[in-house]
Structure 1
Amino acid sequence: MDCLEQLRSCKLIATVIVASMILIDFTLLTAIVPVIPTYLWEIHLRSNPDLYKSNNNLSISAMNLTSSSQASNSQNLKEAEKTYLATQSVKIAAIIAAKPAVQVIANFFVGPLVDRIGYRVPMTAAALIICTTAVGG
């Protein structure tokens, strides 16, 4: 029982837990950032039926690219993707910047909460949320 009380009062344990949660948070962020342009392109393809049909036809016949029309169609689609993503840099930046912006806003509420109830409950809740995100994401 004495050992358990020592672990509860140890600041090193809290530091290790916070550091591991920050590591998981950064890992999730680095896994999501490269996917955002592809995700935006998929949304754009679904909103434009003509592009979506040509993309599906290419994926179905990807093994059999013998005709020059299919090859040129694939090249046109890649150029359209590059052009579209070049115009979407503001959207991509806004999606990436949303996380730290929400964290800054949440800090104004979590700070006084931690002053009132202590750090254990908010830290445990944050750890559970981050772990759930990592497993379920």
Structure 2
Amino acid sequence: MSTTPGPTSRHPQPPVGIDELLERVRAGYERIEPQEAYEAARAGDALLVDIRYAALRERDGLIPGAVVVERNELEWRLDPQGSHRRPEATSHALRVVVLCNEGYASSLAVQSLHQLGLHRATDLTGGFQAWREAGFPVV
């Protein structure tokens, strides 16, 4: 009898590197560019959610109208069924655009939101830095 542990339900796939994980995650939805995010937010068709940590927000500023939700609270604040949800999180059909500093952590956050049933969640390609470089408002 072998003493080598076999695959378990907790780890059904072999480990992958972060680059491959990001590719897999991003293949499951369409990311958006700053122009589209700006227009959607301005029209009231999307909720911009800034998950950058405080030091980056203090250093670089904020996008007017974006909701700040720390990454470690994101799922609790955006779950429409959750007792700790934000007032804006009223439906699984809510279009959420997550942004981090450069567009990496936001992709992983979107995967988590999709698992909660927020099927219209996406992220901003290039994150806050791309928004700022495109010349959109920052305060």
TM-score over 0.5 (shorter chain)? no
Give the structure with the higher percent helix. 1
Compute the TM-score of the two structures, normalised by the length of structure 2.
Answer: 0.24
Higher-Rg member (1/2): 1
Compute the TM-score of the two structures, normalised by the length of structure 1.
Answer: 0.25
